[in-house]
Each structure stands twice: as C-alpha cells, then as structure tokens.
Structure 1
Amino acid sequence: MQTLPKQQRFETLSYLPPLSDQQIAKQIQYILDKGYIPAVEFNENSDPTVFFWTLWKLPLFGARGTDEVLSEVRACRSEYSNCYVRVVGFDNIKQCQVLSFIVHKPR
C-alpha cells in the first residue's frame, strides 16, 4: 500500500483524473435515478472553508435526461473557465444537498 502524494483534494472523486463528459453523464444519471434535483455551481476557489458557491442559473427541477444537465455544465465551464465548477444533487425530501463533485478545475 502506498500513500498518495500530499496535494489539495476537492470533494467527491477528487483522487481520480479529471472526469470526461461521458463519466460526468453517468454521475448525473445516478442523480436523476435517485430522484435528486441536479444543479451546477461555480466558485473561484474550492477551499474547504468556503461554504458558499454561486448557483449557475436555477436548479434543474424538470431535468429528464443527462444531456440537459451536461449542457448547463458545458455552458458554465465555458463562461467561467477560471472557476471551479461542480454538480450537486439536492434531495427534496431531506431538503439538503446530498452529493457534489467537481467537474472543472481552472488551470
């Protein structure tokens, strides 16, 4: 067993190489399958002490497929390429965010 090199980690899946759009789509499908509401957020820094991210548009309440959500991810990445972008899933029963993962890191 080997220890990972010391570096800043970001939320869920951060130990993996950057996700492709196809891999992001699979994670989004999981969100939709669970009945969670997907949303896209961005922020200039992802420091763990920063609890507030800016919401990209409104949560995608009526999203039926991954293409709708992935389209918003691409638009946010394009407009805010200097920011971290993440996808979050909200549980409307528990009324809280139940998962999130980074889909873009600025270079």
Structure 2
Amino acid sequence: MSDMQDYNSSLADNASRKFETFSYLPSMDADQTRTQIEYIVSKGWNPSIEHTEPQNASGSYWYMWKLPMFGETDVDAILAELEACHKAHPDNHVRLLGLDNFAQCAGASMVVYRGVAA
C-alpha cells in the first residue's frame, strides 16, 4: 500500500475543508499566484472571479464578482480585481477561474484568498 496522506476534513470545521487541487498544497505566495495567472492568460482562458462565505463554499453556487474578464491579458489587472474582491468581502473565500471558451468549462480553478470561518 502507498504512503498516501489522509486529509482530515469535516463540514463542522471550516478551516479543514479542501477546495480544488491547490488547496492540498501549501498556500501560494504572490509570485506563485502570478505564475498561475500567467498560465491562464497564456492558454487564452478568460479570468473570472467568484466569492462565497466559508460555510457555503462546499455548495455549487459562488457569487460572481463582476462579469468574467473576457479577453483580459494584463496579469496586474487580474491581480487588482482579485484584491478588490477580497477587500469588498474580506471574510469570504475568493477564487479565480480560467474559463475555456472551446471546452466550455473551467480550465483552472483556485482559491486565492481563504475567508474567515464564522
């Protein structure tokens, strides 16, 4: 048997919940986040920002922050919108999606800011 690690998480413990692949890794620093955004832009995917309360994050509905940033290629503009969403909703989780026009799905999804559990 492999030495796979079990991640203890529960609905009762907001801090223990995992979201998307990156949440199983250590938190990304600013440079790593920028690199992920550069990847989204390089694929031609449209950045979209969403947020929700920590207790609702396991549901399928997240609030859209403005409209998706169709055609946006400026990484600094995307980072600025992520920060603006976080400042407007400091207790919420904020995630970035890379929407793929051709596959009509999210090619990337990551929680950039984790909210404070109530």
Assess same fold via TM > 0.5. Answer: yes
The structure with the larger Rg is 2
Q: Percent identity over the alignment? A: 37
Give the TM-score, by structure 1 length: 0.88
Residue 108 of structure 2 is aligned to residue 99 of structure 1: yes
Q: Does the 8 A contact of 1:25 with 1:66 survive in 2?
A: yes
Structure 2 segments unaligned to the other structure (5+ residues)? 10-16
Residue 5 of structure 2 is aligned to residue 3 of structure 1: yes
Deviation above 6 Å: which 4+ runs of structure 1? none
The count of aligned residue pairs is: 105
Residue 81 of structure 2 is aligned to residue 81 of structure 1: no
1 or 2 for the larger relative contact order (CA 8 Å, sep ≥6)? 1
| RMSD across aligned positions (CA) | 1.4
Q: Which amino acid aligns with 1:26?
A: T
Q: Secondary structure at the match of 2:82?
A: helix
- The residue number in structure 2 matching 1:90 is 99
**Which protein has the bigger helix share?**
2
Q: How far did 1:62 drift?
A: 2.9
Q: Secondary structure at the match of 2:23?
A: coil
